[in-house]
Chains A and B, each alone.
Chain A
Amino acid sequence: MISHSDSLQCSVEGKSSVFAHQCLHCGNLLTTEKQKVSRHSPFCCAGCRAVYQMIQSEGLGRYYEIKQQVGWQGSALKSLPAELPDDITHTSLHYLDDPEFLRHYALEAPENSLGRKRMRFYLEGVHCAACVWITEKVEELVPGVASVKLDLAQSLVTVEILPGGSFRAVAEKLIQIGYHPHPIRSQKMEQYQVKENRQWMIRIAVAGAGAGNIMLLAVSLYAGLIETSVDTAGTHYSLARIFQWVSGILYLPVFLYSGQPFFKSAWGAIRSRELSIDIPIVFGIVVGSITSYYNLISGQHDLIYFDSFASLIFLLLGSRFILRRAQQRALTSSHLIRFLTPSCVDRVQPFKNQVERIPLDQLKLGDVVEVSPNTVIPVDGEVVFGESTLNRALLTGEPKLEEVHEGSFVNAGTTNVSSLLHVKVSRLGVETRLGKILSSMEEYLSRKAPIMEFAQEISRYFVVAIFGILIALVVYSSQYGLEVALNRVLALAIIACPCTFALATPFSFTLSLGRLARLGILIKGADVIEALSRVRTIFIDKTGTITEGNLELATCVIDSQHENEIREAVYALEMQSKHPVARAIVHYLEPLVNLSDDHTALQKTEEVIEVLGRGMKGRYAGQDYRIERSDRETPSSEGVAIFRNEIKVGQMTFQDSVRAGSTESIGRLMKLGYQVKILSGDSSLTVRKIAEIVGVPQEQALGELSPEEKSKIVLNSRHSSNLAPSKRAGLTMMVGDGANDAVALAAADVGIAVQSGIELSLRAADGYLLRTDLRLIEKLLAASRETMHVVRRNFSISLIYNLIAIYATFLGKITPLLAAILMPAVSLVLFASALYGTRKMRKEVSA
C-alpha cells in the first residue's frame, strides 16, 4: 500500500514519462523539497493527508487503484482548503438534521418506501469512476442509509435514508473522504426537465423499433418478394401486400408520436412567421407519408417509403436529443448563494455573553454575528468587535490579506483568517454585494442575445429557395400530367431534406465538444463553438490566470556575516504564521536552510509574536529579530525588511509570477489577429508590469477594477467596436477565475472560467478549463475555427448535391425511390466529411 511511497508513475499526455512527484491523493504536483523527500507518503497539504488516511482506515484503498486504472491524470479540482479546520465535520452540518430544513430540501421517497427521505447534494470534487465507487461506498459505511447514487456528469449525489438515518452523518462521511457536499433544493424546473427527457427517449425508442421492423420487412420487399403469394383456404394472398400493409401500420406511431417534436416546432415557426429548417423537414415527411399511404391504399404498392421516413425520424430525433442532453445543467445560480455563504451562523445574544447557532435565514438586520477564524463571513456589515485579517479573494481575486478592525466594513463571502470578529448585520442575502453580483450575473446570462447562427441564416434562404423551386417544378412538370408532377414533387421534397442542418452540423459540433473535453476544455454548448469562431477581442484576468495567483518571494538580500543564522531565524519565525507572505518566505527559504528538522528550528525560537498584517517578531538563538513590511511599498512588490537586534540586515521582495507559457500564448494569439486586453483588481502598477512581461500594450492593461467595473468594460467593448456595424461584428471573450470575474464572464459573448473550484464562475461561464493554461485557450479558438470550416465545407457539398439533384429532378431522372436512396447516401458522405475534418484538426487541436 505504501509501496508507491515517494513517487507515482504517471502518464502525461499519452506518453509515459519519468517518475513525477504527485500528491498521493489529489494528484497535484508537489512543489517543495520537503514534501518530495518525506519518508511518509507525500501529500500536497494537510487536507489531502487527512483524507488519504481516512480512506485507508476505512479499508477503501481500492479507490486509488481504480483511479489509476481509469487513467485519471492531472489534478482534480481541489474542494477542500489547504488547512482543514479541526471541527469541519462536526459543527457546521447540524442543520442537515433540522426538520425545518429537511422540509424544504428533502423529498419523501416514492410510494413503496414509507418513511424514507431523499435529498440531493451537489458534490464538489468528483471527476472519475473512482469517485463514483468511493462515493457509493458511503451507503455501506454509514448506518441508516438506503442508497447513495452519484451522477457523474452533473456532480449530483442522491442520498436516500431510512427512517432512523441522518443526512448529517452522510455529509460528514463525504467530507472525510474528500468531497464537499452542498444540499440542493429540488425545483419544479428539474422535475419538468426529467419528464421531458424521458418522453424524448420513448419517442426515440418507438421510432427506432418502428424503423427497425419496417426495414426488416422492406429488405424482403426490395429483394423481390413481390412475386411470392400465399394460398390459404383457397384464397390468394400476396405476401408482399401483407408486408406493405404491416409497414404502413408500424409507421403510424412513428409518424404521429415520434414525429411530434418536429410538427410542434414547425407549427410554432410558421405561427411566429419565422423560417425554421423544421418546416421543409416536416413538409417532406408529411408529403412523403401521405403519398405512401395513398399509394398503399390505391394499389401502387411499390411506391411506399415508410422505411426511409421512419429511419429519418429516428436519426433526427437521436441527434437532436444527444445535443440537448449535452447542454443540460443541474445547477442554477439560485443554488450558488448557498455554496458561498455558511448555512448556520453564530448570533451573539444581546446582554448575554452567549452565542446561539441559528440558520442564516433567521438572521435580522442589526443582529451581531460572531465569525470565527477560518470561516466565511455570512453578511455585509460593520465590525463591532475584534481585529483580524480577511481574505477577500472572492471579490478581488487577489491572494493578499487585508486588515480590518472595529468600524471596518466587511462583505459576505470573504473569509476571516486570523481572529474572532463580531459583525453587525447591515445587509443580508440578495442585498449583499455578493448577492447583487449574483443577480447581475443572472441578468446578463438571460439577456445574452442568441447569436445568429450560421446554420440558421442559411436555412432561411434555403427554405425560401426550396419552396420557390417546388412551385417552379410543379408548373414545369404539369405539362406531363398530374401524376408525373406529383412524383417529381415528392422526389424533390425528399432530396431537399436538409440533412446538413439537421444531422451533419450537430454531429460536427458534438464531435468537437467531445474532442475538447478530452483536452480538459469543457464547453457548455454548440453555439459557444460558433461564437468562439467570431471572437476578436480577448479579455484576460491577471491574477490566477496569467499569473500563478500566489505570492512568491522574488529576491532576498541579506547583508551581514551572520547570513546563515539570519536565514534560519527568518525561516523558523515565519513558519509559525499562516499569512500568504509568510508561506512564500518559508517556501523560498526551505531548500536554502540547513535544518535537519523543523522541530529543532522551532525550539530555538522564543517569544514569537505575530503582528497582524505587518510581520513577525521574536528571538532566535538569543538574538532579537523583527521581520516586517516596509512602510513604503516599493512599486510593484511588497517589500519586507529583516531586522536583527534592531539593525536592518536584509530585504525581501515579492511578486506573483507569470505562468509558464503565458507570454508565448499571448504572443501567438496577438499574431493571429486577436486583440488581447488584461483586466485586474490589483494595483495599476503591478498590472502594467505584468503587461510588459507578457507583451500586451500598456493602454490595454487595466488595474484596480472591481467586479462590477470589469463587466462594464467588457460590455462597452462590444458596442464601441470599430469593426463594421454588421451583425458579424467581432465578439468578446473573457477568461477569468473566481467570483470577482463572474459578472464579466456573464457579460462577455463567450466567458471561459479557469480552474478555480468556485462554482460561481462555472455557472457564469460558457465553458471552463480544467487546467489553467493559456495554451488551452489557443486550442479552443483553433478548434472552433476548424469546426466552422468543416461545417462550411459540409454546406458546400450539400449545395452542390442539391443543385445537381434538383436539376436531375426537373429532367425527370429522379424517381422518389431513387431520391430516398440518395438522401441517406449523401448524409453518410456528410458524416464522413465531419469525421475527416478531425484529421486537419488533429494537428492543432491535440493534447
Chain B
Amino acid sequence: MNIVLLFLPIALILGFVFVCAFIWVTFNGQYDDLETPAHRILLDDEKQEN
C-alpha cells in the first residue's frame, strides 16, 4: 500500500487538531490584544525570589 495513504489522514487529523486548538485559544481571549504581546517579548522574565 502506498505509504501516502497513511500520511494523508494523519496530516489531516493533525491539521484539524490545530484548528481546534486555535478556536479554543481564541475563545479564551489570547488574541483579543494583538499589539501588546509584540512589546512583551522585549521584557525579560525575572525570577521571583521568595
Contacts and interface: CB of A to CB of B under 8 A. Distances in A.
Contact of A246 (B8, B22, B31, B33): B8
Nearest to A217: B8
A645 B23 CA distance: 82
Given A197-B32, A230-B1, A239-B4, A129 B19 contact: no
B26 to A, nearest CB: 5
Interface in B21-50: 22-23, 26-27, 31-36, 39-40, 42-43
B42 A230 contact: no
B42 A69 contact: yes
A230 B42 CA distance: 52
Contacts of B34: 153, 325
Instruction: Find the residue from B11, B33, B36 having the highest chain A CB count within 10 A.
Output: B36
Nearest to A152: B36
Contacts of B8: 242, 246
Mostly, the B contact residues are helix
A205 B40 CA distance: 24
Nearest to B21: A205
B45 to A, nearest CB: 11
A52 B41 CA distance: 25
Contact of A153 (B2, B23, B31, B33): B33
B7 to A, nearest CB: 11
Nearest to B23: A202
A202 B28 CA distance: 13
Given A153-B36, A239-B2, A133 B15 contact: no
Contacts of A250: 12
Interface string A320-340: 000001000000000000000
Contacts of A230: 1-2, 5
A213 B12 contact: yes
Contacts of A129: 39-40, 42-43
A213 B39 contact: no
A202 B26 contact: yes
A770 to B, nearest CB: 16
Interface in A576-615: none
Nearest to B4: A239
Contacts of A201: 26, 31
A152 B22 contact: no
Contacts of B2: 228, 230, 239
Mostly, the A contact residues are helix
Interface residues of B, number: 24
B43 A209 contact: no
Nearest to A70: B42
Given A132-B36, A152-B35, A213 B15 contact: yes
Given A205-B22, A213-B11, A230-B5, A198 B31 contact: yes
Nearest to A205: B22
Contacts of B11: 213, 216
A2 interface: no
Contacts of A128: 39
B9 to A, nearest CB: 9
Contact of A151 (B4, B26, B33): B33
A230 B5 CA distance: 9
B28 to A, nearest CB: 10
Nearest to B34: A325
B26 A66 contact: no
B36 to A, nearest CB: 4
Contacts of A198: 26-27, 31-32
Contact of A132 (B18, B19, B43): B43
Given A198-B31, A201-B26, A133 B43 contact: yes
Interface in A782-838: none
A132 B4 contact: no
A133 B1 CA distance: 57
A123 interface: no
A69 to B, nearest CB: 7
A242 B26 CA distance: 33
Given A66-B42, A201-B31, A239-B2, A209 B19 contact: yes
A427 B46 CA distance: 53
Interface string A92-113: 0000000000000000000000
A257 to B, nearest CB: 11
Contacts of A194: 32
Contact of B35 (A153, A213, A232): A153
Nearest to B35: A153
A412 interface: no
17 contacts: A70-B39, A149-B33, A151-B32, A197-B31, A197-B32, A198-B31, A198-B32, A201-B31, A202-B22, A205-B23, A212-B15, A213-B15, A216-B11, A232-B5, A239-B4, A242-B8, A250-B12
Interface of B: 1-2, 4-5, 8, 11-12, 15, 18-19, 22-23, 26-27, 31-36, 39-40, 42-43
Given A151-B35, A205-B22, A232-B5, 5 more contacts: A66-B42, A128-B39, A152-B39, A197-B31, A242-B5
